[in-house]
Structure formats: C-alpha cells, structure tokens
Amino acid sequence: MGRPVGKSNKTKQKEKKLERIALIKKALELGVTTRAGLAKAADCTVFDVGSLLTNNPDLYNEYKVRRRTLSETAADNIEDIINDQNHPNNYAASKFIIQTYKSDIDKALEHQDSDELNVEIGKGENSPPVKISFAKKDKKKD
C-alpha cells in the first residue's frame, strides 16, 4: 500500500506560513504596524509574527520601513501643530510635549535644593558638555 493521497503536514505548514506572510504583507500595506495588529490580521500569535519577521528579511525590512515612516509622519505632524499657532490643538500639543519631555535644565531645576545650581548640558560623543553655574550672591553692605 502506498502513501495516502493528500498533502503532507510539512506541505500544509509551508502553505500556512506562505498564507500568513501574504496576510502580513497586506496588513502592512493597509497601515498596520504593530506586531499585535499583524498577528490579528494573519490569525496567529505575536510570537509567530516575530518568527516570520526574523526568518524573512524582506518582510522584516518592509515592516521596519512602515514603522519608521509612521514615526516620522507622526513627528512631522506634531511639529507642524506646535509651530502653527492657529492650529486648534497647538496649545494641547505644546503642553503635552513640555510636560512629557524634560530637558536637562528642567531636570536640574526640579532637583535644585540649595542656593547654588550647576548644570551640564549637551554631553556629546565628540564634545564636552556645557557647564552652567548659578549662585546666589550676597549684597555687600558699605
């Protein structure tokens, strides 16, 4: 007796994998950029999406490009809103950015406990930080 007619498990798994890859590509084209969203679109787990991305460099590169494009578009939109004083969300966006993302000076001022303040700003790889010192001076009495 020979092998039963039909597809082997290996063939079925390969077809399922190709089907999921196609569904993920379609979801990426539609703007889905989260692994959870891709898993839902491909009817699989987030782990399966991770494995498919890891084992398919072209698919992973497309995923990275879509994510980067989304991030850059969002950053551009936020910048446009903040720079346009007539935009209806200008105040809310500006307030959110200021409250959420603190600069080195903001952090130093929040933790200032004495009459003296020393701040280092802009620690770069190739340049030393800029040091700013503030101190309270006593008025001289003559």
Length, in residues, of the chain: 142
Question: Tell me: the pLDDT tens digits for 79-90?
Answer: 999 999 999 999
pLDDT tens digits, 87-113: 999 998 888 888 887 776 666 666 666
Burial zone of 94 (CB within 10 Å; 0-12 exposed, 13-18 middle, 19+ buried) = middle
28: its two tokens: 């990426």
**Strand pairing partners for 132?**
119
49 or 106: which leads in pLDDT: 49
Give the CA distances from residue 100 to residues 24, 75, 81, 107, 125, in Å, rounded to whole numbers and listed in that order.
33, 15, 16, 12, 25
pLDDT band of 131, cuts 50, 70, 90: confident
The pTM for the full model equals 0.59
The pLDDT tens digits of the residues spanning 1-14 come to 555 566 788 899 99
Given a cut of 60, whether residue 123 has pLDDT beyond it is yes
With tokens 């782990």, the residue in question is 47
Task: Name residues whose C-beta falls within 8 Å of residue 116's C-beta, 6 or more positions apart in sequence.
Answer: 133, 134, 135, 136
User: Using one digit for the tens of pLDDT, what is the confidence trace for 21-30?
Assistant: 999 999 999 9
Check if the beta carbon of residue 90 is closer than 8 Å to that of residue 82. Answer: yes
Copy the structure tokens of residue 26: 């379609």
Spatial distance between the Cα atoms of 42 and 58, rounded to a whole number of angstroms: 17
Query: CB–CB of 25/15 below 8 Å?
Result: no
